[in-house]
Structure 1
Amino acid sequence: MKLYLFNPDSDLALANNEANYIAPASARRMAQDMALLPIWYAAPDSAVLAPSAYNADFLRRMRELFGLRVQLATEPELPDYAEASIVPWGWNPSIRKYLLKRGVNEDKLPSPRLLADYRSLSSRIQAVEMTRRMTGRYPGYTCGEHTLVNNIEDCERIVNAMHACLLKVPWSGSGKGLNWCLHGFTKPVSNWCERILREQGCLTAEPIYNKVEDFALEFYSDGCGGVRFAGCSMFSTNEHGAYTGNLLASDGQIEEIIARYLPLEKLERIREALRTELASVYGYTYTGYLGVDMMICRQDKENKYLVHPCVEINMRMNMGVVARLFYDRFAVPGSKGRFTVEYVPDNGALRARHEQDMRNYPLIVENGRLLSGYLPLVPVTGKNCYRAYVRL
């Protein structure tokens, strides 16, 4: 049996790299509010770790609607899953310690040495070399530049040379750890850089591109040297670069959008080259999903579009894969919609939106597939600040 758990703070835990790491309150809130999210991508006859009080009824209803073959596992029941294969959102030392203390057998968990390898492979630094290789191989229709910075002097020089740039920390949560430098190397930027260099040892700098579309190519590494393509993902971010949601559509529909800017045969070349490169780097070390975030960028001077082939690599489960698997498993083929993750600090306002969506977009499910309407993917209770939902 497989046991799934949603730990969205995994990247932050990797940055800290301590077994006793404690997630920020917002990350703990998200993990609790959305604990049931793995039911939509879990393998049949598996379990999802979540509190039972308010999740059991929701899961029962989803089983009835969609024929889910997933059961609920609570924290006191973890010893019953001592021999299960554990599938977290992402691996890090703190989640290993958590599971070990609660009765999961050590041989079912990655060793500290393997977790050290995972941390290195999860760094944004991996995108630096991958981008260099991909743009070198396909210079005619790719763009992208990452500069690795190891000291404050280089940071000042690079920021001033670029005038406007984006600085990124090596490890951070999705859409976090970004510093948009729009006015040169100011004192706040200097202080931020000094802190990141002190805490994480380096950072990356890149130009700010004229982005037209965000998308990703998703892959799966089997841990035995094989990496397979797992689908396309087209997503949206807010003005700060933080993830907000995904287009719900088939791979073919997403490819049609990309084809407005890039011939599909060129996308296929990039995809196969990425798959080969990922296999050489991750194939024998890591088992799980790999998401390669990409962008379509416009070059105004030449009035043409280029693809940034590797904005970053997510070595963990990600929302793009959740959206991809939900659509393929539970949406009526040919339909289109949105997959959204939303934070509303006031629970009353969140529940009001939820109730309004239920009225405005009535749910229609036929033969275990969503035909149209609003579907919350996790229960919305009197405590939630987060919700995940689809609207088709």
Structure 2
Amino acid sequence: MSKRELYIFNPDNDLALANGEANYMPPASAQQMASDLALLPAWYAAPGSAVLAPSAYNLVFLREMQRLLPIPVDLMTAPELASDGQFTPVPWGWNPALRKKLLLAGVEEDGLPSLGHIAELRRLSHRMQVVELLSRLQLNEYFCGESHYLTRPEEWQSFVEEHKSSLLKAPLSGSGKGLNWCKGMFTSSISGWCKRIAALQGGIMAEPVYDKVIDFAMEFCSDGLGKVRFVGYSVFATNRSGAYEGNVLQSDEQTRRELSAYVPGESTLRLQSVLEEELSLRFGRHYAGYLGVDMMLCRFPGSAPEFRIHPCVEINLRMNMGVVAHMLYDRYVAPSSCGRFSITYHPAPHEALKDHERMRSEYPLEIENDKIVSGYLPLVPVHRWTSYGALVKIERIS
């Protein structure tokens, strides 16, 4: 008898992996996000699986959603972990702290990845992978991008001062974290930041800032046996600091049409094919699961071609919001509709609940044939103390 999959939302994974310690304690904000969005995997989990979440609020909410849409998953609470050994954990991502947490909760060690395997995932998650892969993705004149791994103070200073705008990154960090935006001056603050990061991780990543038109990604899935296959596109938005805000919900065909208005479609298809080969070679036998390659469509005014694709801004060797959005669209949005999937943050009590009630009133939900045609739908429970939320807002295509 095969074991059921148990999905776990641990959004602190990148931070925990960067830290590398089994006793890592995530910041309060990450703990709050994990709690508020614990039920999010219900929307992308495999049929017949379960989601790890506290029963309070979540079970009532899940049952309510299951009356609206076909969501074939169950809820499992932490106390049930030890008593029910018939499952395989499927977290957002693996790190030593999560492994220890599951062991302490009573999960059998033979159902968990070894510390050696997690160490290999940490090595493969290093942004040095971007530097190495990016050079192999400059397929023709419609591609751009450069990234450097710098280890010496004089290199950091030279790079910042030689570029009007540049971005420094920690080699291992969370999405939207470990970033330092520079404006051509190597200040004492930037110098201190570089020294701290290099002391922990050996060096820093450095890249120019581009004139970005669209943030998008190609999403893939690795079978762990050597084959990585293309899953689809995601078009997403970030805030000014680079943190994720949400995804467009639309078909891959629509995304291809939008990109082809700037860059020939055959170049994008060739990139997809080359990435399948390159990712298979790099990750195919070391990682099983979803991964995403973040990209940008960039503008070069006065140059030819004016628009080019930066084909490898980040590699996310884990589940990611782009895959969530892609599955949400395929499973639950009517083909005649499009919309947006958003992660929200409300720092003050009651704010999220007020916003939820307003959205529900202004954008009534319309469902036909088990698909959302239009309206607002929260994807996780919303109550007085909610800080983080996940929602979709759908509209008919006119």
> What residue is the counterpart of 2:216 in the other structure?
215
Give the match for residue 48 of structure 2. 45
- Letter paired with 1:78: L
Q: What residue in structure 1 maps to residue 251 of structure 2? A: 250
Aligned residue for 2:388? 386
Residues 1:97 and 2:136 aligned together: no
Q: What amino acid is the match of 1:390?
A: V
Q: Which residue of 1 aligns with 2:229?
A: 228
Please report the TM-score for the alignment, with normalisation by the length of structure 2. Answer: 0.96
Q: Distance in 1 between matches of 2:264 and 2:338?
A: 22
* Equivalent pairs, count: 390
Aligned to 2:378: 376
Aligned to 2:29: 26
- Match in the other structure for 1:116: 119
Query: Which runs of structure 1 show a deviation greater than 6 angstroms over 4 or more consecutive aligned residues?
Result: none
Distance 1:115 1:248 in 2: 32
Would you say the 8 A contact 2:150–2:204 is kept in 1?
Answer: yes
Structure 1 match to 2:154: 153
- Conserved? CA contact 1:248–1:323, under 8 Å: yes
| Matched AA of 1:228 | R
Unaligned runs of 5+ in 1: none
Matched, 1:342 2:336: no
**What are the equivalent positions in structure 2 for 1:159-178 lying under 5 Å apart?**
159-178=160-179
In 1, the alpha carbon distance for the partners of 2:309 and 2:249 equals 22
The match for 1:276 is 277
- The aligned runs of 1:183-332 (5 Å cut-off) are 183-302=184-303, 304-332=306-334
User: What value does the CA root-mean-square deviation take over the aligned residues?
Assistant: 1.0
Deviation per CA, 1:45-97: give whole Å up to 9, x if none.
10000000110110001111112111010000012342411100011000000
- Retained in 2: the 8 A contact 1:164–1:184? no
**In structure 1, how many angstroms separate the alpha carbons of the residues matched to 2:327 and 2:296?**
22
Output the CA distance in 1 between the equivalents of 2:21 and 2:152: 24
Quick one: distance in 1 between partners of 2:83 and 2:213?
49
Q: Deviations over 1:19-43 (max 9, x none)?
A: 0000000000000000000000000
Is the contact made by 2:53 and 2:78 (CA closer than 8 Å) also made in structure 1? yes
Please report how far the alpha carbon of residue 128 of structure 1 lies from its aligned counterpart in structure 2 after TM superposition.
0.6
TM-score of the pair, normalised by structure 1: 0.98
Which secondary structure state, in structure 1, belongs to the residue aligned with residue 172 of structure 2?
coil
Identify the residue that residue 182 of structure 1 maps to in structure 2.
183
Inter-partner Cα distance in structure 1 for 2:356 and 2:83: 35
Asked whether the 8 Å contact 1:221–1:287 carries over to 2, the reply is yes
Q: Match of 2:259, as an amino acid? A: I
Please name the residue that 1:84 is paired with. Answer: 87
Q: Which residue of 1 aligns with 2:368?
A: 366
CA offset digits 1:323-362 (Å, max 9, x no partner)? 0001000110131101000111012122111110000000
Q: Equivalent residue for 1:71?
A: 74
